[in-house]
Amino acid sequence: MLPSQADGPVGEGPLGDGPVGDVADGGEEPISSGSRMEHRSALLLFSGFATVLLAAAVSLLPVPYVMLRPGPVVNTLGDTGKNPLISVTGHPTYPASGRLDLTTVSLLGGPGERITLWQALGGWMDHTVSVVPEEEIFPKGQTAQQTQQQNAEEMTTSQEAATAAALDELGITVPTTLKVSDVDAKAPAAAAIKAGDVIVGVDGKPTDTLDALRSALGEVSPGQPVTVRVSRSGVERDVQTRTTKGDDGRTVLGVFLDPVFRFPFQVKIEIENIGGPSAGMMFALGIIDVLTPGNLTGGKTIAGTGTIDSDGTVGPIGGIQQKLVGARDAGARWFLAPAGNCSAVVGHVPSGMQVVRVSTLAEARTAVEAIASGTGTDALPGCTAS
């Protein structure tokens, strides 16, 4: 409140000793203490109002961060409303109950639609949300349209790899053209094998499937020489090179493959508005369930995530903590997590949920079968602090 002027005459000295600047003596009209306080209060009020406006303006400024929130889950054994999510033509199928839920992350922000500082602050205060620098999700300079196209391509590749891995797990041969997309510059093969080559044999053994290639390389130790038969520009030739050791300790050539599969029957996966490769493992499990008698899940709800290679290798993904929350909210008690994500899983498992660590499709299938039967679940590997 402003000070009252009823306590004394205008111009009274601060100690009440008499008039200050008496007009009769030629002095100027004095400024009262009340007027000074009113002026100061007005300044404070204006400053406070300006500060609030500035803070509000700053909070609405876009910031280069992205929010990761729990997204929807989708049952790979379910349907799209019109058709089964997984449909097969040319091979017997079997009805499946229960749920094999793929999990997703909802993104807010990124190129063309940055979040505000206010939104980022809210995300930092929410334990179910992660706020990360934009460049951790979107490569620098990549547009929203380019990101969408990349996600769509990765989803298509993931579905093909999931089908190949599932059929391989079931012992169904999938003839494959092993086209080289790139060569590790540090590998000995860089001097002999080129991008675009098709690997058709190793040491006289045909390599018309990924299993055949792995088997041929498995007969030699890392560093030993091999004769690789390649088709280059339609002409087959033999090249000499040495093998090397892969990250998993296996003997490899040091080349990156872009396999082209010739599936013996059609497997179609119909899904919309979801991109990226992280649903691969759950697609593969769903295909296995559809192609085999009985219920793989035993009627239970099992969620998970992870990329899949055509050889059945399960790889890590992003947003694992948000996916755990989304799965829990959708009713899952069990979650299959890639071994490569375990460090991010520890300490973030929702109450009432059990996480099983998997590195291959075979391990994931074994885990689902144990959960379905209710036996052997105590022996299933979890994620532990290293």
* Amino acid identity at 352: G
Instruction: Determine contact, residues 284/360, Cβ cutoff 8 Å.
Output: no
- Same topology between domain 68-106+143-171+264-379 and domain 176-261: no
Tokens of 26: 């030629």
> Directed axis angle between helix 361-373 and helix 144-169, to 10°?
70
Domain ranges of the chain: 1-59, 68-106+143-171+264-379, 176-261
More confident residue, 70 or 33: 70
Kindly report the average pLDDT of the chain as a whole number. Answer: 85
pLDDT tops 60 at residue 15:
no
pLDDT number for residue 108: 85
Quick one: fold of 68-106+143-171+264-379?
A: Ribosomal Protein S5; domain 2 (3.30.230)
- Which of 87-96, 105-114, 234-243 comes out lowest in average pLDDT? 105-114
Q: What is the pLDDT of residues 49-104, one digit of tens each?
A: 555 555 555 455 566 888 899 999 999 999 988 889 999 999 999 998 899 999 99
Query: Per-residue confidence at 362, pLDDT binned at 50, 70, 90?
Result: very high
pLDDT mean over 127-153: 82
Phi/psi of residue 365, nearest 5 degrees: -65, -45
For the entire predicted model, the pTM comes to 0.78
More confident residue, 263 or 49: 263
Q: Which CATH number applies to 176-261?
A: 2.30.42.10
For 287, residues 6+ apart whose C-beta sits below 8 A from its C-beta are 86, 88, 162, 163, 166, 167, 267
Give the separation between CA 143 and CA 178, rounded to whole angstroms: 32
Instruction: Determine contact, residues 306/323, Cβ cutoff 8 Å.
Output: no
